[in-house]
Amino acid sequence: MASLHLIVHYHEIILKGKNRYIFVNKLIENLKDVLNPAGVKGIREEQGRIIGDIPHGIDLNTIKERTSRVFGIANFAMASATDTHVEAIKNGALKQLEREAFDTFRVSTKRVYKKYPLSSMEVDRLVGAYIKEKMGKSVDLTHPQKTLFVEILKDRAYLYTERFHGAGGLPVSTGGTLVSLLSGGIDSPVAAYRMMKRGCKIIFVHFHSYPYLSRTSQEKVQDIVEILSQYQGASKLYLVPFGDIQKEIVLSVPHKYRIVLYRRMMMRIAGRIATNEKALALVTGESLGQVSSQTLENITTIEQAAPLPVMRPLIGMDKQEIIDQAKSIGTYEISIIPDQDCCQLFIPKHPAVRTHTGEIEKIESSLPIEELIEMGIKGSQILTIKAY
């Protein structure tokens, strides 16, 4: 029986440039992380693609699902391998196609090993003629029901009929580390996902008001991080107790400024965690004008408390676009479970829509900022969450 292999084609961008090896090695590492536990062995580079060996009896659906969530992949397939001699390819092609239903077909050969004695077209023709003769099927070059792909490498040829879309993007961890402020709502998981897709490794920080509010938000973010870990491997999650910090703010600050001050404290604490973790920036799910804390003025006032740059990948997106993406990532169903977000604690009916840094700094001057940051950091619980 022919051996079965996973064959991964990476994104064009990785094929070029000096950093190619960094990208390919990281992609191999990321694939090993999710596919070794599923039984795939020997994941390696072979002439511009990544190959893994799939032992007999392994669940191919699991392999397909896991591979489709690894960033940096253009497409992938499950291929059988044969010797490179054209007779071996013909036999392999027949064995493969005999298991499939179709009337018309074509052969599409890619000769990766340029010293191969036949051209790609010659292989197409020889294999095509053989299938036609043995199976009585007809060749259709423009709209075939089935395409047999043949990739000829130096020592082996790989044959497959189905190609799956990869997730695109860049391999996670090639773009540095970010700290994501994760609320349990719809937006922030999508924001984290988009930065992962650009090659960033994400560390998550969630602020909760337990025991003033229920534990639901903490349970939700753990489930969300588990889903997001499918895309980046094991993830670190900081659960920061925020209720006592909010109490301090409430005691010395006019009602309408509470939300903005809560957010500024979140920026400072997440920024401190980021510095400790050697992360280079923060990421939030803010989208311009979506709620009163996300006016241009308030976003600016909030940002000015952040010790590091703040990335906002959703800033120009509509709610519906964000919802659609949350659904396709798989976080939406968890995000919509009702919970008690920490920002609902002690909030006024009419929060300030336009704040300015000068006035906010004056109001904040009565707060023991450094002590509050320390309080949040010291009280944090740190979890490691895995998807598989």
Binding site for ligand ATP (CB under 6 A): 181-183, 185-188, 205-207, 266, 284-286, 290-291, 293-294, 341-343
> Of the two residues 334 and 367, which places its CB atom closer to ligand ATP in the complex?
334
144 binds Mg ion (CB under 5 A): no
**CB 92 to Mg ion: min, Å:** 54
**CB 262 to ligand ATP: min, Å:** 8
Interaction partner, residue 140 (ligand ATP, Mg ion, none; CB < 5-8 Å by kind): none
> Of the two residues 46 and 219, which places its CB atom closer to Mg ion in the complex?
219
> Of the two residues 107 and 221, which places its CB atom closer to ligand ATP in the complex?
221
Interaction partner, residue 339 (Mg ion, ligand ATP, none; CB < 5-8 Å by kind): none
Distance set, CA 387 to CA 21, 140, 166, 221 (Å)? 27, 43, 19, 13
**CB 221 to Mg ion: min, Å:** 11
**CB 293 to ligand ATP: min, Å:** 4
> Of the two residues 91 and 292, which places its CB atom closer to ligand ATP in the complex?
292
**CB 342 to ligand ATP: min, Å:** 5
**CB 181 to ligand ATP: min, Å:** 3
Interaction partner, residue 157 (Mg ion, ligand ATP, none; CB < 5-8 Å by kind): none
Q: By beta-carbon distance, which residue lies closest to ligand ATP?
A: 185
> Of the two residues 185 and 241, which places its CB atom closer to Mg ion in the complex?
185
Distance set, CA 356 to CA 133, 260, 296, 298, 325 (Å)? 79, 10, 10, 7, 33
Residues recorded for the chain: 388
169 binds Mg ion (CB under 5 A): no
Between 173 and 202, how does the x/- string for binding to Mg ion read (CB under 5 A)? Answer: ----------x-x-----------------
Residues of this chain that interact with Mg ion (CB under 5 A) are 183, 185
